[in-house]
Amino acid sequence: MTIKISIDCMGGDHGPSVTIPAAISFVNREPQAELILVGLEDVLHAELKKHKADKHPRLSVQHASELVEMDDPVEVALRRKKDSSMRVAIEMVKDGKAAACVSAGNTGALMAVSRYVLKTMPGVDRPAICSILPNQKNGPTYMLDLGANVDCEPHHLHQFAIMGSVLVSAMEGIARPTIGLLNVGTEEIKGNEVVKSTAKLLREDHERGILNFYGNVEGNDIFKGTTDIIVCDGFVGNVTLKAVEGLGRFVKDVMTSEFKRSPLTMLGALVARGALKNIGKRFNPSRYNGASLLGLRGLVFKSHGGADSYSFEWAIKRSFDAAKYNVQEQLSTLIAELMPRTPDQDLTGSTSK
Amino acid sequence: MTIKISIDCMGGDHGPSVTIPAAISFVNREPQAELILVGLEDVLHAELKKHKADKHPRLSVQHASELVEMDDPVEVALRRKKDSSMRVAIEMVKDGKAAACVSAGNTGALMAVSRYVLKTMPGVDRPAICSILPNQKNGPTYMLDLGANVDCEPHHLHQFAIMGSVLVSAMEGIARPTIGLLNVGTEEIKGNEVVKSTAKLLREDHERGILNFYGNVEGNDIFKGTTDIIVCDGFVGNVTLKAVEGLGRFVKDVMTSEFKRSPLTMLGALVARGALKNIGKRFNPSRYNGASLLGLRGLVFKSHGGADSYSFEWAIKRSFDAAKYNVQEQLSTLIAELMPRTPDQDLTGSTSK
């Protein structure tokens, strides 16, 4: 049986010229995958034809007449573009026609439309964005939230920890992934009030055997790979992620210009091209493309807006893997079991099961 | 006339074996500098003798019988070690015997002892830690706060912006340095409540011609060099700084191991050694060592605890430059003029002048 993934083919800076080649490459690589390409049907058919893939048995087109621009306000994406490729792709997940969806559209709109269409999972107050970064142990460090929630209370961070734990457990096959709480120092007395209260909740869960809480971690622990998961609020996560991406680009630019500076340095780069290739591969942000929107009643993945087709294919792969490993089902089961009743829910009267 | 700098020679991971060679090198390089070496006099004299510098006319030793360990709690540094090299070095600034002081001791202790001995400047609620990072424009990006204040109100961030502006103006000779407010997006509607209210204060000052407020900036703008100064709370600043330092070390380790992988890659590295040297130099964190503790009634500089002597010399140079450019005087004058009366001060009854 195939696993169906819906793809918002119009999203991102480059639209179908990136999303279609990525989809073709992935479907050819993965015999279990079936991809539903969502967007302006004429444009998508033309792009498929261009790549001689218009008759691929595991690629189909789903028409959507509108598209969410990268600078569209959330309001516009949500209320005025009800037949956008983004929304139609998400609705396919809701209707059970796809097991997951991927979009390179703008993050705010994708989160808002996903929340509106799919709704939040029972027991979860706020969905979070979870992505991965490379670490020195040659594995991934999962980090959340990366920008969905700029003002967080301790019980929100607590929920992020639970969701992250379930995700990593399913995606990486780690029974009890370790959780670090991002802080300004490792000692218990460090940090602001929100972080200190969160640590208390996480320690309680650790003692009850529910979570594998390592304790406080610092910014450099992301790359040391001290824990499998790092939990933080969306403000800190977003700023940190963009700062490290910025440094990465800076280093890459300086390396490129320095190795191109003279015939001698170019020769050196040629001789040591194996080393340079490995360095590039190790830090290639494309390999880490594909962030999960966690805590919704369906799997939604977000690609970088500027992704090229190699990079977008990684986002498709990540959503396919999440569907294959039944991440959604595992999240539902475990969250219903683990998630405590929260203050927000007490107020609204909804239940945690 | 010479400029006197007091140096806590016992601080940091390596103590006199790093601080003394750094002091000797700097004093030989800078004819205007006079350095007062603070610590256990026998140890310091022995180290000076070892380097044949025990009779240098611009190096003197000031005895201090105790030392603050890197893991000493703030409480111990503050109450139990009244004759520590850290405290004696700071007291020399208070007594006018030195124009600035430098320590590689632990940050929490250094800030606490500095606040206790020197007191906060009139008009400043909370001192902040300001450091510099390299950017793609080949200049420095000044960033504060980097960890002194983990819970900030808008008026604190506002004061950081004013102090940063004065510092950069004096140190870099820029008349109206640009200020960016670190946020999760550049649009005015982005961010948490504290950041949004801070932006309002900064925009008002911009309109009054007091500050050159650029607007919101994102994590990657640190390295783009979008603004001269980036303002954030100490939690975000500390996590971000440690994350980028962590990535820097990771990249360096991978480069080293990849270029050492085979005789061929080693040959390539040899041929292109000019490029590698330039890359190393551009990102060498030693060149950015020396953070200012801003907002005290005296100049205090903090070196990385793990600094080697090259790196510690940069911290000495930074404190010397700050003294030479009369940063403290400029801060006093301009802050008295610019700093608005704040809620904290209204509560305590102290005045802003």
pLDDT for the residue A67: 93
| CB nearest to A241's CB, from B135, B147, B219 | B219
- Mark whether B277 and B145 lie in a shared domain: yes
Handedness of CA A225, A227, A228, A229 (dihedral sign): negative
CB hemisphere CA count around A316 (13 angstroms): 33
pLDDT for the residue B187: 86
Out of B233, B252, B284, pick the residue that ends a domain.
B284
- Is B256 at the interface with chain A, CB within 8 A? no
Residue B290 placed within a domain: no
Provide the terminal-to-terminal Cα distance of chain B, rounded to the nearest Å. Answer: 31
pLDDT for the residue B189: 84
How far apart are the C-alpha atoms of A143 and A28, rounded to whole Å?
31
Residue B314 placed within a domain: yes
- Mark whether A9 and A99 lie in a shared domain: yes
Contact A239/B242 with Cβ under 8 angstroms? no
The dihedral region occupied by B326, where left means phi > 0, alpha psi between -120 and 50, and beta the remainder, is left
- Mark whether A260 and A307 lie in a shared domain: no
The structural domain count of chain B equals: 2
Contact B143/B130 with Cβ under 8 angstroms? yes
Tens of pLDDT along A300-336?
999 999 999 999 999 999 999 999 999 999 988 888 8
How far apart are the C-alpha atoms of B170 and B69, rounded to whole Å?
33
All residues of chain B having their beta carbon less than 8 Å from the beta carbon of residue A245 are 219-220
Secondary structure E strands in A104-256? 128-134, 140-144, 178-182, 212-217, 229-231
Residue type, A350: S
- Is B136 at the interface with chain A, CB within 8 A? yes
Bridge partner list, A140: A134
Structural domain span for residue B268: 128-284
- Is A41 at the interface with chain B, CB within 8 A? no
Structural tokens at position B127: 């001192």
- Is A184 at the interface with chain B, CB within 8 A? yes
> Cα A300 from chain centroid?
8
B29-40 in b/e form (b: 16+ CB < 10 A) is ebeebbbbbbbb
Contact B216/B187 with Cβ under 8 angstroms? yes
Three-class SS state of B216: strand
- Mark whether A281 and A234 lie in a shared domain: yes
* CA angle, A322 then A324 then A330, to 5°: 65
pLDDT for the residue B70: 84
For residue A141, what pLDDT band results from cuts at 50, 70 and 90?
Answer: very high
Out of A274, A291, A308, pick the residue that ends a domain.
A291
All residues of chain A having their beta carbon less than 8 Å from the beta carbon of residue B304 are none
pLDDT at A350 over 70: no
Task: Give me the DSSP letters along A293-334.
Answer: EETBSSEEEE--TT--HHHHHHHHHHHHHHHHTTHHHHHHHH
For residue A351, what pLDDT band results from cuts at 50, 70 and 90?
Answer: very low
Nearest chain A CA: its distance from B49 CA (Å):
39
Contact A199/A181 with Cβ under 8 angstroms? yes
How far apart are the C-alpha atoms of A265 and A271, rounded to whole Å?
10
Can you tell me the mean pLDDT for A82-100? 97
- Is B279 at the interface with chain A, CB within 8 A? yes
For residue A344, what pLDDT band results from cuts at 50, 70 and 90?
Answer: low
How far apart are the C-alpha atoms of B139 and B128, rounded to whole Å?
22
Q: Which of B257, B180, B262, B261 is nearest to B213 (CA)?
A: B180
Distances (CA, A) of A190 to B23, B77, B151: 33, 17, 12
- Mark whether A106 and A196 lie in a shared domain: no
CATH at B190: 3.40.718.10
Task: Give me the DSSP letters along B252-266.
Answer: HHHHHHHHTSSHHHH
Q: Which of B350, B237, B293 is nearest to B93 (CA)?
A: B293
- Mark whether A271 and A351 lie in a shared domain: no
- Mark whether A142 and A273 lie in a shared domain: yes
Is residue A240 within a helix (H) or strand (E), and if so which, with residue range?
helix A234-259
* A283 burial type by CB count under 10 A (0-12 exposed, 13-18 middle, 19+ buried): middle
Count, residues in chain A? 353
DSSP symbol at A285: G
pLDDT at A341 over 80: no
Distances (CA, A) of B278 to A96, A251, B273: 55, 12, 8
All residues of chain B having their beta carbon less than 8 Å from the beta carbon of residue A224 are 246
pLDDT for the residue B342: 54
- Mark whether A73 and A160 lie in a shared domain: no
pLDDT for the residue A342: 54
pLDDT at A349 over 50: no
- Mark whether B249 and B164 lie in a shared domain: yes
Alpha helices for chain B (secondary structure H): 16-29, 41-50, 74-75, 85-94, 107-118, 154-172, 193-207, 221-224, 234-259, 263-271, 273-283, 309-324, 327-338, 343-348
- Is B187 at the interface with chain A, CB within 8 A? no
How far apart are the C-alpha atoms of A298 and A102, rounded to whole Å?
12
A157, A186, A249, A271: which to substitute to probe chain B, counting the most B Cβ within 10 Å?
Answer: A271
- Mark whether B146 and B264 lie in a shared domain: yes
Residue B351 placed within a domain: yes
Interface of A with B in 81-120 (CB under 8 A): none
Sheet holding A229-231, edge to edge: A59-63, A33-39, A3-8, A100-103, A299-302, A291-294, A128-134, A140-144, A229-231, A178-182, A212-217
- Mark whether A222 and A338 lie in a shared domain: no
Do strands A299-302 and A291-294 pair parallel, antiparallel, or not at all (unpaired)?
antiparallel
Lowest pLDDT segment from A61-70, A240-249, A341-350, B205-214: A341-350
Q: What is the mean pLDDT of chain A?
A: 92
| CB nearest to B242's CB, from A219, A251, A269 | A219
How far apart are the C-alpha atoms of B315 and A215, rounded to whole Å?
33
Lowest pLDDT segment from A85-89, A98-102, A147-151: A147-151
Query: Residue B326 contacts by C-beta under 8 Å, 6 or more apart in sequence?
Result: B170
- Mark whether A203 and A97 lie in a shared domain: no
pLDDT for the residue B344: 54
pLDDT for the residue B126: 93
Tens of pLDDT along A247-299?
999 999 999 999 998 999 999 888 888 999 998 888 888 889 999 999 999 99
Query: Residue B285 contacts by C-beta under 8 Å, 6 or more apart in sequence?
Result: B245, B248, B304, B311
Crossing angle of helices B16-29 and B309-324, rounded to 10°:
50
All residues of chain B having their beta carbon less than 8 Å from the beta carbon of residue A238 are 184, 218-219
B46-82 in b/e form (b: 16+ CB < 10 A) is ebbeeeebeebebbebbebebbbbeebbbeebbeebe
Out of B255, B284, B313, pick the residue that ends a domain.
B284
Tens-level pLDDT at each residue, chain B (353 residues): 899 999 999 999 999 999 999 999 999 999 999 999 999 999 999 999 999 999 999 999 999 999 998 888 888 999 999 999 999 999 999 999 999 999 999 899 999 999 999 999 988 999 999 999 999 999 999 999 999 999 999 999 999 999 999 999 999 999 999 999 999 998 888 899 999 999 999 999 999 988 999 999 999 999 999 999 999 999 999 999 999 999 999 999 999 999 998 999 999 888 888 999 988 888 888 889 999 999 999 999 999 999 999 999 999 999 999 999 999 999 988 888 876 655 555 444 343 33
Residue type, A214: Y
pLDDT for the residue A352: 38
* B236 burial type by CB count under 10 A (0-12 exposed, 13-18 middle, 19+ buried): buried
- Is A75 at the interface with chain B, CB within 8 A? no
pLDDT for the residue A353: 33
pLDDT for the residue A32: 97
Three-class SS state of A40: coil
Bridge partner list, B178: B212
What percent of chain A lies above the pLDDT cut of 70?
96
**Looking only at Cα atoms, what is the longest distance across chain B?**
71
Helix, strand, coil share (%) of chain B residues, nearest 5? 50, 15, 35
Contact A136/A336 with Cβ under 8 angstroms? no
B129, B220, B284: which to substitute to probe chain A, counting the most A Cβ within 10 Å?
Answer: B220
All residues of chain B having their beta carbon less than 8 Å from the beta carbon of residue A129 are none
- Is A232 at the interface with chain B, CB within 8 A? yes
CATH at B16: 3.40.50.10950
